[in-house]
């Protein structure tokens, strides 16, 4: 087994008391003080996460936007300079290789932030389809990233960056600080306002300390998971997979079937026309029980297994178990009574409207 990669912020995390775990081949902090405290900090004030494990790609050249429009599900052609969008990279069966965010830097330059566990596959898949006139640069080994999230994130940014304001939602700005280029993206994975900040690895500790000194609470993967799950944001490799389409995941909003062609389009168009057989549903415990976890069976009122949890946790905001699972469409309707099997015991639950927390 190969040794986990270390973030450029690894020593700082250990200095801050981070409890380190392996995640997607990286040694990352799962928490610093507690998941509950970190979750609350992001919902009510501001927290900071290390996202250096994520991949940073650049696609450049004349016609880059047109090519990316054929590779991704959302409408890349609709983007103006400095704008971004959530989208999917699909295989030819319409399954999800990766979910990512693409930003248009200029008409000939696009910035893609991709999942750590998908980076090699993304680069290989894009490279396999890349026209000769375009270039694909993987800058992941050179860059560090951090996500500052929460209602006070704009204030923290302004204090650290000398009164600067953030780009508009889903937007990207490229700044020069001390002669070094920084990318600031008004995006996140928590459901709160915030930004993602990408810089060269040598500068990572300096920026993290400045954001922390300005009030951002260090947060780990545990709070990141409960925050995103409360908002029903999918986790690639769990809620999304090469065997599932964005339509089954309930994310058709990010698929533009009006486009003439993109990889996987015909499969999705046919699926939409014929109707889905399964859909990713939000499941809420009716009462108390051990926290739901991925892999737990979901059963109907007769005790028949009808699905398996893809994500699950105790919601800090609700104090109840919350989960996601693919269910037959007739059972994925809001209000459907179900149960989650937790170590042989059935915990009463029901399908609810997404997201769990508004």
In CATH, what number is assigned to the domain containing residue 328? Answer: 2.40.30.110
* Structure confidence at residue 2 as a pLDDT band (50, 70, 90): low
pLDDT of residue 265: 98
The predicted-structure confidence for 212-244, as pLDDT tens digits, reads as follows 999 999 999 999 999 999 999 999 999 999 999
Q: Are 59 and 134 in contact (CB under 8 A)?
A: yes
The predicted-structure confidence for 293-339, as pLDDT tens digits, reads as follows 999 999 999 999 999 999 999 999 999 999 999 999 999 999 999 99
Share of the chain above pLDDT 90, in %: 97
Q: What number is the average pLDDT over the span 141-154?
A: 98
* Structure confidence at residue 1 as a pLDDT band (50, 70, 90): very low
Are both 160 and 220 inside the same structural domain? yes
pLDDT > 90? residue 34: yes
Boundary residue ending a domain (230, 263, 285): 230
Question: Which domain covers residue 304, as residue numbers?
Answer: 277-352
Q: With both helix axes pointing from N to C terminus, report the angle between 35-44 and 221-230 in degrees, rounded to the nearest 10.
A: 50
Q: Which of 7-11, 110-114, 286-290 has the lowest mean pLDDT?
A: 286-290
Indicate whether 264 belongs to any domain: no
The CATH number of the domain holding residue 149 is: 3.30.1360.120
Indicate whether 91 belongs to any domain: yes
Are both 67 and 111 inside the same structural domain? yes
Are both 61 and 23 inside the same structural domain? no
Are both 121 and 16 inside the same structural domain? no
Are both 201 and 148 inside the same structural domain? yes
pLDDT > 70? residue 253: yes
Boundary residue ending a domain (203, 230, 257): 230
Write down the mean pLDDT value for the chain.
Answer: 97
Strands of the sheet containing 172-177, edge to edge, are 172-177, 180-185, 194-200, 143-149, 47-50, 217-218
* Structure confidence at residue 258 as a pLDDT band (50, 70, 90): very high
Are both 218 and 80 inside the same structural domain? no
How many domains is the chain built from? 3
* Structure confidence at residue 35 as a pLDDT band (50, 70, 90): very high
The predicted-structure confidence for 46-94, as pLDDT tens digits, reads as follows 999 999 999 999 999 999 999 999 999 999 999 999 999 999 999 999 9
Q: What number is the average pLDDT over the span 240-256?
A: 98
Indicate whether 260 belongs to any domain: no
Are both 199 and 129 inside the same structural domain? no
* Structure confidence at residue 287 as a pLDDT band (50, 70, 90): confident
Contacts of 178 (CB under 8 A, 6+ apart): none
Are both 44 and 149 inside the same structural domain? yes
Indicate whether 239 belongs to any domain: no
Are both 176 and 315 inside the same structural domain? no
* Structure confidence at residue 3 as a pLDDT band (50, 70, 90): confident
Are both 47 and 146 inside the same structural domain? yes
Are both 14 and 37 inside the same structural domain? yes
pLDDT of residue 80: 98
Tell me the backbone φ, ψ of residue 8, rounded to 5 degrees: -65, -10
């Amino acid at each position: 087994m190969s040794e986990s990669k270390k973030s450029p912020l690894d020593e700082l995390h250990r200095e801050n008391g981070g409890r380190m775990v392996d995640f997607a081949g990286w040694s990352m902090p799962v928490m610093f003080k507690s998941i509950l405290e970190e979750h609350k900090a992001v919902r009510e004030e501001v927290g900071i996460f290390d996202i250096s494990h994520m991949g940073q790609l650049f696609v450049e050249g004349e016609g880059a936007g047109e090519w990316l429009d054929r590779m991704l599900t959302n409408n890349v052609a609709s983007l103006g300079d400095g704008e971004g969008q959530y989208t999917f990279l699909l295989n030819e069966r319409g399954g999800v290789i990766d979910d990512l965010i693409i930003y248009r830097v200029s008409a000939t330059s696009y910035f893609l932030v991709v999942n750590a566990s998908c980076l090699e596959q993304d680069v290989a898949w894009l490279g396999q389809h890349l026209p000769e006139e375009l270039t694909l640069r993987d800058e992941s080994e050179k860059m560090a990233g951090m996500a500052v999230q929460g209602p006070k994130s704009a204030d923290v940014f302004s204090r650290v960056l000398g009164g600067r304001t953030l780009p508009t939602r889903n937007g990207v700005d490229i700044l020069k600080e001390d002669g070094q280029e920084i990318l600031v993206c008004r995006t996140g994975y928590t459901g709160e306002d915030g930004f993602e900040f990408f810089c060269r690895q040598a500068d990572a500790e300096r920026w993290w300390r400045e954001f922390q000194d300005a009030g951002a609470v260090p947060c780990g993967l545990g709070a990141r998971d409960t925050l995103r799950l409360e908002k029903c944001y999918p986790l690639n490799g769990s809620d999304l997979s090469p065997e599932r389409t964005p339509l089954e995941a309930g994310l058709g909003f990010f698929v533009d079937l009006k486009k003439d062609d993109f990889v996987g389009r015909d499969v999705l168009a046919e699926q939409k026309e014929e109707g889905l057989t399964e859909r990713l549903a939000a499941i809420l415990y009716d009462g108390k029980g051990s926290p739901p976890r991925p892999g737990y069976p979901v059963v109907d009122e007769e005790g028949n297994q009808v699905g398996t949890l893809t994500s699950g946790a105790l919601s800090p905001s609700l104090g109840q178990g919350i989960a996601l699972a693919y269910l037959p469409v007739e059972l994925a309707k809001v209000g459907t009574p179900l149960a989650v099997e937790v170590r042989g015991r059935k915990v009463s639950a029901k399908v609810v409207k997404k997201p769990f927390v508004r």
